[in-house]
A and B are shown apart, each in its own frame.
Chain A
Amino acid sequence: MKKRMFVFLLVAAAAIFATQAHAQVILIANPSVKASDVAKSDLRDVFTGSASSLKDGSHVNPVLLKQGAAHEEFLSAYIGKNDTAFRATWRSLVFSGQASMPKTLDSEAAMVAFVAANPGAIGYVSKATPHEGVRVLSVR
């Protein structure tokens, strides 16, 4: 009985930490994007070059961070690839003439500023990063 309780607590703790990890990065969009939420599959399509609009028809342009914890967490939580595999996906599109590389920024502050200023821009930052001027989208 004690053993089962211990295992249950371990699993619960793991689930809580896993949820916490996803909650550390938020999706931000320019106010021109009308959607308030986005499906995980649609988000993955947009950020891997398979789609350029959300389900409500909003045209969106993905914006990336060059590196960092928020970038790694976003890829892990919503794209299912690490940075190397993710960039290989975009390279195959760029070098075969199917797409241009998304705008890539050095810092989360630059990300917020760019998304706020560019219609259709959609990106991601840490939850703790100030993000005035952009909309926060939930992911379902």
Chain B
Amino acid sequence: MNRFLVGAVALALGAVSAAAQSLDDLNIQIHGYATQGFLYTTQNNVFSTNSSNGSPAWDEAVMNVTAQPTDKLRIGVQARYFLLGTFGNSITLDWAAGDYKFNDKFGVRFGKVKTPMGLLNETQDIDPSYIWSLLPQNVYDILSRNSFLAHYGGVVYGSVKAPNSPVKIEYRLFGGQIIESSTDPNIELGQQSSGIALPNGWTGPMWGATLQVKPTPGLLIGASDQVFVTNWTAVATHGSEAGTNGTPPSQNYYYFAKYEKNKYMVAGEYFRQPYSYWYNFPTDPALDSTGRLDQRAWYAMASYKLTDKLTVGAYDTQAFDHQQAFGPSRYNKDWTFSGRYDFNQFLYAKAEQHFIDGAFVDYDTSMNPNGVKPSTKLTILKMGVSF
């Protein structure tokens, strides 16, 4: 189904190309960006990098090509190269979609599409679009992006404005199939710690909705709900044993708000991810297990434009897994201070300092052979160029 959707988009692009009088008719655009990051931690190597000794193993490059042969129809494809520590180091299809906008109230997008959940899910991997080097990891985990950033399927979207009122309501309905996440670093880390591998990853159907209300210019209030099911597609191997893994229908909830005016921005979000999972080994029932996660996380952030080129900001984020035993593995807290300097409209630099307490997210035990310390400081420097 996935290859069918992507192929349909490619065929549509070719058909439109053949019918066009000239390239100008297609409004073809090419855009891209690239970033180079550097990480240093005082303790605990993070993101599978050797960050305690300083690590430049964080690269990203993106390029897209879009065509808009009519005012309502747009077709495009975007490829991404991503490297973070030992993860990635490959070129993948970021999205490939056809988009038809009937009017401002109703439009459809299909193919491999970004999933419009929460305040920042659609744009969490677009480094040029925000001040932060790293988004609040408790809500937007960089190592889980493959699973939640995009899906095969579609999005129905639109907005409605109340007559004689500034109030605007935007809706997004989405559904399809979760991307097979065998390459999702967080899935890999999770299985590693439990001594199980998922050679085919996990996937399954998902659907959900996001509603955003803009009661006054600059203010946005919203909520998202996503349901996903993965109870028949994965194969687990434990030593020489083969089994299956899955989850019953589970949900992700997001509640968020953002206000922007002139030089400053404030935003906050609450995220909850309760889900159960199971492992079944028919040839060795002693290996069967069930588990439950109930992650609750939030962040509050603010930024201020000191000058036309310099923006500074800070955020606080906390996450708790209420199913974990008490201790650093149950929580993750992170105070972050950040700055971004735009040399011009193409080139920028970022610097960021994190004060992290807890070990709930993002630690690779194989990179921390002496054990994960309960706190660490993380310094990030980043350069980026976009066009």
> Which single residue of chain B is at the shortest CB-CB distance from A99?
B74
Contacts A53-B103, A82-B308 hold; do A97 and B62 have CB atoms under 8 A apart?
no
For chain B, residues 133 to 184, give those with C-beta under 8 angstroms from any C-beta of chain A.
159, 166, 168, 170
Asked whether A92 is an interface residue with its Cβ less than 8 Å from the other chain, the reply is yes
Min C-beta distance of A83 to chain B, whole Å: 7
Selected from A52, A80, A88, A100, the residue in CB contact (under 8 A) with B104 is: A52
Instruction: Write out the residue numbers on chain B whose beta carbons fall within 8 Å of the beta carbon of A88.
Output: 128-130
Chain A positions 79-112 with a Cβ under 8 Å from a chain B Cβ: 80, 82-85, 87-89, 91-92, 94-101
Instruction: Give the CA-CA distance A98 to B113 in the complex, in Å.
Output: 9
**Are B123 and A96 touching (Cβ within 8 A)?**
yes
Q: Is A129 at the interface (CB under 8 A from chain B)?
A: no
**Are B129 and A97 in contact, with the CB atoms below 8 A?**
no
Residues of B within 8 A of A82 (CB): 305, 308
Say whether B76 faces chain A, with CB atoms less than 8 Å apart: yes
Query: How far is it, in angstroms, between the C-alpha of A97 and the C-alpha of B154 when the chains are bound?
Result: 12
Residues of B within 8 A of A12 (CB): none
Q: Does any Cβ of A come within 8 Å of B225's Cβ? A: no
For A96, the chain B residues whose CB sits under 8 A away are: 95, 114, 122-123, 126
Per-residue contact bits, chain B 1-45, to A (CB 8 Å; 1 contact, 0 not): 000000000000000000000000001010101000000000000
Interface string of A58-89 (1 = CB under 8 A from B): 01010000000000000000001011110111
Q: Which of B29, B97, B128 contacts A91 (CB 8 A)?
A: B128
Does chain B have a CB within 8 A of A41?
A: yes
Q: Are B126 and A95 touching (Cβ within 8 A)?
A: yes
B101 contacts the other chain (CB 8 A):
yes
Of all chain A residues, the one with the shortest Cβ separation from B109 is A97
Task: State in angstroms the CA–CA spacing of A84 and B97 once bound together.
Answer: 27
Cβ contacts B87-109/A at 8 Å (1 or 0 each): 00000000101010101100001
State in angstroms the CA–CA spacing of A91 and B122 once bound together: 12
**What is the minimal beta-carbon distance from B320 to any residue of chain A, in angstroms?**
30
Q: Does A51 contact B (CB under 8 A)?
A: yes
B66 located at the interface, meaning its Cβ lies under 8 Å from any Cβ of chain A in the complex: yes
Q: Of residues 28 to 72 in B, which have CB atoms within 8 Å of A's CB atoms?
A: 29, 31, 33, 62, 64, 66, 68, 71
Does B386 interact with chain A (Cβ within 8 Å)? yes
| 4 closest A-B pairs by CB | A92-B129, A92-B123, A95-B126, A96-B122
Name 22 interchain pairs, CB-CB below 8 A, sorted by A.
Answer: A41-B166, A44-B217, A50-B159, A52-B101, A52-B104, A80-B218, A82-B308, A83-B308, A83-B345, A84-B308, A84-B309, A84-B342, A89-B129, A91-B33, A95-B31, A95-B78, A95-B123, A96-B114, A97-B97, A97-B114, A99-B74, A100-B29
